[in-house]
């Protein structure tokens, strides 16, 4: 059976003209006497258009300056299409177009948007939001166009980092956004969208994702006691304060985990739960966190619990069972905001100068254990960490605070 050849060419589409007299540069594919045209885009996703004279200079014997760069770029662009065609057992325009738009036009922001959609479909709303924020930030940095994966070089990432810091982003935010870029890049490589040789995160002169040093300020037991027993008139404020205290008492339990707690998680003497944050990450080795029920925990639960104590019912009136993942996310964020506002106000009234947030409850639980002599394996198990290394890194910030305190003592001369 005779195999029909497929031919390619980069041409100037002179049948179409822009107001400035330039014509779009296109990739022409010919198969069985049928021709189709695909607009050529630059690395940032912008359509390339040239005058007839400019296109002739690109294809001249010795193109110079920008025309030489375009000549090299057009050759590599066409080469990708040829490689794609040769990889197909049977050619068809529809199959080519599907692969072409996945491979040749593999752009970062478009991929981030797709990744966010996938995360939302998996009910991973919080992560999806950070990925969407990454895409929005990148769009502001590069302008109205997209950027090809192969143009995401160490140099580009360093420039993006400098731009973010200049625009008042923290190193922690830079780390989150560039990790999202790395994850999306890894996915593109695994799907064959981009070659691993262009990967900017490993090898010599690669881009190193920064690690933000957000020094954790833990409260003392005395400060926690003051906040836990502070007289509050408004029941709504007292409830949000109690959620904060419960978080501290229950191994630094995340507010989302408190909101998702069901009566089936309660026994006569303890609370059993799996951190929502790790449920998807470590399905093969889920850590069941056990919190002994103390009189104070029981008191808070009894004060604010829902009346219906059926096993599948939620313990606290934060969420409703029929809420969608997005509705849950919004309500939890709102609750965290209320708790932070109430604790900030209480701390001010109590004369506590340290910042007090939902994070502080978890940080304080860990550091109180450490300063009380608990071994690191027990702290790690209590926090629900996957490894001792994670716990050691988590506690390292408390060491800095402790060192600073003693440094101030010896400096008092």
DSSP string, 372-400: TT--HHHHHHHHT-S-HHHHHHHHHHHHH
Structure tokens at 242: 């109690």
8 Å CB contact between 363 and 214:
no
User: Which CATH number do you get for residue 319?
Assistant: 1.10.443.10
Please indicate, yes or no, whether residues 317 and 387 belong to a single structural domain of this protein.
Answer: yes
| pTM (two decimals) | 0.67
Domain boundary, last residue among 52, 74, 101: 101
Q: Which of 1, 53, 43 has its CA nearest to residue 23?
A: 53
Strands 6-12 and 49-50: unpaired
Quote the pLDDT of residue 45.
Answer: 67
User: Which CATH number do you get for residue 165?
Assistant: 1.10.150
* Domain membership flag for residue 209: no
Please indicate, yes or no, whether residues 58 and 116 belong to a single structural domain of this protein.
Answer: no
Q: How far apart are CA 384 and CA 389, in angstroms?
A: 12
Q: How far apart are CA 178 and CA 213, in angstroms?
A: 16
Please indicate, yes or no, whether residues 27 and 78 belong to a single structural domain of this protein.
Answer: yes
Please indicate, yes or no, whether residues 283 and 404 belong to a single structural domain of this protein.
Answer: yes
DSSP assignment letter at 198: G
* Domain membership flag for residue 204: no
* Domain membership flag for residue 348: yes
Q: Which residue has the tokens 């009566």?
A: 263
Question: How would you classify residue 385: left for phi > 0, otherwise alpha for psi between -120 and 50, otherwise beta?
Answer: beta
Please indicate, yes or no, whether residues 84 and 160 belong to a single structural domain of this protein.
Answer: no
Domain boundary, last residue among 70, 101, 132: 101
* Domain membership flag for residue 216: no
Q: What is the pLDDT along the chain (413 residues), one digit of tens a residue?
A: 445 689 999 999 998 888 888 999 999 999 988 999 988 887 766 788 999 999 999 988 888 888 998 999 999 889 988 988 888 788 888 878 777 765 544 789 988 998 998 888 888 899 999 999 999 999 999 987 888 888 899 999 999 999 999 999 999 999 999 999 999 999 888 877 787 888 999 988 899 999 866 666 788 889 999 999 999 989 999 999 999 999 999 989 999 999 999 999 999 999 998 888 766 655 556 778 889 999 999 999 999 999 999 999 999 999 999 999 999 999 999 999 999 999 999 999 999 999 999 999 988 888 888 888 888 888 888 888 777 877 777 676 665 555 555 555 544 55
Quote the pLDDT of residue 283.
Answer: 53
Quote the pLDDT of residue 104.
Answer: 47
3-state secondary structure 102-158: HHCCCEHHHHHHHHHHHHHHCCCHHHHHHHHHHHHHHHHHHCCCCCEHHHCCHHHHH
8 Å CB contact between 40 and 67:
no
Q: What is the dihedral of CA 151, 155, 159, 162, to 10 degrees?
A: 140
Please indicate, yes or no, whether residues 252 and 320 belong to a single structural domain of this protein.
Answer: yes
* Domain membership flag for residue 213: no
Q: How far apart are CA 49 and CA 42, in angstroms?
A: 10
Please indicate, yes or no, whether residues 258 and 396 belong to a single structural domain of this protein.
Answer: yes
Please indicate, yes or no, whether residues 257 and 359 belong to a single structural domain of this protein.
Answer: yes
The residue segments making up the domain with residue 272 are: 221-410
Domain boundary, last residue among 56, 79, 101: 101
Q: How far apart are CA 188 and CA 84, in angstroms?
A: 16
Q: How far apart are CA 34 and CA 150, in angstroms?
A: 31
* Domain membership flag for residue 278: yes
8 Å CB contact between 304 and 245:
no
CA distances (Å), origin 219, targets 213, 342, 352, 361: 18, 16, 9, 8
* Domain membership flag for residue 94: yes
Compute φ and ψ for 406, nearest 5 degrees.
Answer: -70, -30
**48 by DSSP, 3-state: which?**
coil
Structure tokens at 231: 């007289």
Q: How far apart are CA 252 and CA 407, in angstroms?
A: 29
Q: How far apart are CA 198 and CA 195, in angstroms?
A: 6
Please indicate, yes or no, whether residues 90 and 114 belong to a single structural domain of this protein.
Answer: no
* Domain membership flag for residue 203: no
Provide the domain count of the chain. Answer: 3
Please indicate, yes or no, whether residues 235 and 359 belong to a single structural domain of this protein.
Answer: yes
Please indicate, yes or no, whether residues 68 and 176 belong to a single structural domain of this protein.
Answer: no
Strands 34-39 and 289-292: unpaired
Neighbouring residues of 294: CB distance < 8 A, sequence distance ≥ 6: 249
Please indicate, yes or no, whether residues 261 and 322 belong to a single structural domain of this protein.
Answer: yes
């Amino acid at each position: 059976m005779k195999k029909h050849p497929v031919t390619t060419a980069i041409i100037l589409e002179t049948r179409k003209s822009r107001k400035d007299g330039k014509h779009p540069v296109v990739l022409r594919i010919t198969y069985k006497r049928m021709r189709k045209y695909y607009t050529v885009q630059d690395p940032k996703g912008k359509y390339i258009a040239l005058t007839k004279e400019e296109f002739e200079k690109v294809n001249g014997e010795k193109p110079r300056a920008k025309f030489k760069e375009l000549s090299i770029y057009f050759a590599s662009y066409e080469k990708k299409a040829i490689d794609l065609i040769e990889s197909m057992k049977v050619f068809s325009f529809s199959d080519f177009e599907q692969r072409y738009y996945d491979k040749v036009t593999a752009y970062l922001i478009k991929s981030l948007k797709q990744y966010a959609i996938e995360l939302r479909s998996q009910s991973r709303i919080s992560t999806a939001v950070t990925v969407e924020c990454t895409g929005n930030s990148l769009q502001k940095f590069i302008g109205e166009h997209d950027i090809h994966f192969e143009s995401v070089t160490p140099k580009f990432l360093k420039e993006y980092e400098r731009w973010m810091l200049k625009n008042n982003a923290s190193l922690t935010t830079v780390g989150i956004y560039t990790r999202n870029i790395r994850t999306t890049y890894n996915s593109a490589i695994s799907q064959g969208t981009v070659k691993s040789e262009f990967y900017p995160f490993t090898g010599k002169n690669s881009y190193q994702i920064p690690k933000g040093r957000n020094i954790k300020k833990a409260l003392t037991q005395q400060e926690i006691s003051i906040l836990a027993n502070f007289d509050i008139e408004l029941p709504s404020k007292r409830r949000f304060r109690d959620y904060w205290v419960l978080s501290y008492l229950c191994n630094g339990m995340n507010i989302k985990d408190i909101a998702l707690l069901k009566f089936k998680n309660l026994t006569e003497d303890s609370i059993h739960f799996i951190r929502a944050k790790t449920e998807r990450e470590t399905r093969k080795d889920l850590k069941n966190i056990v919190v002994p029920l103390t009189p104070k925990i029981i008191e808070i639960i009894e004060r604010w619990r829902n009346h219906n104590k059926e096993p599948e019912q939620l313990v606290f009136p934060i969420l409703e069972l029929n809420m969608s993942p997005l509705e849950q996310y919004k309500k939890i964020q709102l609750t965290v905001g209320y708790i932070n506002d109430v604790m900030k106000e209480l701390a001010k009234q109590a004369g506590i100068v340290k910042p007090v947030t939902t994070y502080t409850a978890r940080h304080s639980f860990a550091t109180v254990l450490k300063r009380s002599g608990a071994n690191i394996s027990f702290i790690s198990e209590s926090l629900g960490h996957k490894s001792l290394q994670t716990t050691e890194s988590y506690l390292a910030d408390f060491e800095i605070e402790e060192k600073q305190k003693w440094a101030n003592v010896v400096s008092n001369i």
